[in-house]
Amino acid sequence: QVQLVESGGGLVQAGGSLRLSCAASGRSFSSYAVGWFRQAPEKERAFVAAVSYSGGSTFYADSVKGRFTISRDNAKKAVNLQMNSLKPEDTSVYYCAATPHWSPSLLSASGQYAYWGQGTQVTVSS
């Protein structure tokens, strides 16, 4: 089992940057792939990015490709999401989630993730 806590959200102007962090506790963190999802008011939770167990493979939603970078440090039990060139449409609550299964065809499905954090708000002003 793994527990996840997100941090780093806030208010930023369009074009700015934020770095979200997901701190994990529990055993065998390196046995979990980790994803970031986001949910805007009255919208469904949407996949943002995912990273494999070792960090060697990453996967992004088309909407953030080239702007966001996901990375992980298993020694620190942390996953980061560097968000650059932010747009107002990036405004959402951002969640990190963990899954023991690395399957590129399924990583964008929230149902694949067994563990979730509480979320951190990101607001991008125009």
The CA-CA-CA angle for residues 45, 90, 32, to 5°, reads: 50
Residue 4 has pLDDT above 90, yes or no: yes
Tell me what pLDDT residue 122 has: 98
**Cβ count within 10 A of residue 44:** 8
**Cβ count within 10 A of residue 13:** 10
The percent of residues above 70 in pLDDT, for the chain, comes to: 100
Tell me what pLDDT residue 35 has: 97
Nearest to 83 by CA among 97, 98, 67, 71: 67
Tens digit of each residue's pLDDT (9 = 90 or more) over 18-56 = 999 999 998 889 999 999 999 999 999 999 999 999 999
CA distance 122 to 118: 13
Tens digit of each residue's pLDDT (9 = 90 or more) over 70-119 = 999 999 999 999 999 999 999 999 999 999 988 888 889 999 999 999 99
